[in-house]
Amino acid sequence: MTDLLAEQDAARLALRCLDLTNLNDDCDEDAIRALAERAVTRYGSVAALCVWPRFARLAREIAAPDVKIATVVVFPTGEATDEEAMEETRDALFEGADEIDMVIPWRELMEGRDASVRSRVERVKRAAGDAPVKAILETGVLESAAMMRRAADAAIEGGADFLKTSTGKVPVNATLSAAEILLTAISQADRPLGFKAAGGIRTTAEAWAYLEMADRIMGEGWASPQTFRFGASGLLDSLIATLNGAAPVTAAEGY
C-alpha cells in the first residue's frame, strides 16, 4: 500500500506538471478540442497544452483558464535565422501562446558554433518578453555527454527559462542520462531555471523516475509546474489509471 500511495503521489505531481501535447503532422481542430477536453481531470488540470502555432488561438479560446498554452518555434529542425525565430515567437504570442518551446540550432553546436545557440536563445527570449522560453536541446542527436552539457550551458547563457530534452521527432528522445546532465547544469546555474523531459515518456513509473532524479539533484520538493514539465500525450492515460488504482497503462505516444 505504501508503494501504491507513493506512486499515486508521483502521478498526481506528474499530472500537474504535464504539457499535454499534440504536435502530430495530421493534427486538426477536432484534435485540439479533444486535447483541451482531456486537460481537465477529476484529479486537477495539466500545466499546459502544447500545440502547433496555427492552433494556439483556438487552444487559448477553449482551454480552461488555469491551463497554459505552449507552442513551438523553428520546430522541429531548429533551422532558421535568428530573425525568423523572433518573428515566429512574436506571431505565436499574438495568437495566444503563453509559453514558447524553441529548438536550438543544434547542428551548429555540433560544428563547434556554441555562440549560435546563445544568440538564438537571446533573440527568442527578447521577442518573448515575459513569456517563459523552453530551449529544446535535441539531446538524442548530440554525440556525447560533453556536447549535451555545452548545449545546456549555451542555452542558459542565452537566457532560457527551461532546458528541454527533445522535440519528440527523432529516434532517441528523453532519457534519464540526458536528464541528469541537464538537471546538473540547472543546479549549477547562477539563476533559477526549469527542466522539461519530452518524448517517449508513457508510464507513471517512467515519470516517477524523472521526478526522483529531480529530487536527488535539485532537492526534494523542487519539482512543480513552475520548474518541471513533461511533454507527452499518452502519459496522461497512465497517470489517471494509477490515480484510479488500476493497473498501469502504456499508451501509444504520438509525440
Of 101, 161, 169, 237, the active-site residue reads: 101
Report how far apart, in Å, the C-alpha atoms of 229 and of each of 17, 37, 65 are: 5, 20, 18
Give the alpha-carbon dihedral of 122, 148, 196, 235, to 10 degrees: 140
Say how many C-beta atoms besides its own lie within 10 A of residue 159's C-beta: 18
SS3 track for 97-153: CCEEEEECCHHHHHCCCHHHHHHHHHHHHHHHCCCCEEEECCHHHCCCHHHHHHHHH
Cβ 79 vs Cβ 105: under 8 Å: yes
Of 68, 125, 164, 169, the active-site residue reads: 164
| Residue 237: all three cell numbers together | 492515460
| Residue of 139, 147, 251 whose CA lies nearest to 204 | 251
Cβ 213 vs Cβ 181: under 8 Å: no
Active site residue 196: yes
Active site residue 125: no
Residues annotated catalytic, as ranges: 101, 164, 196
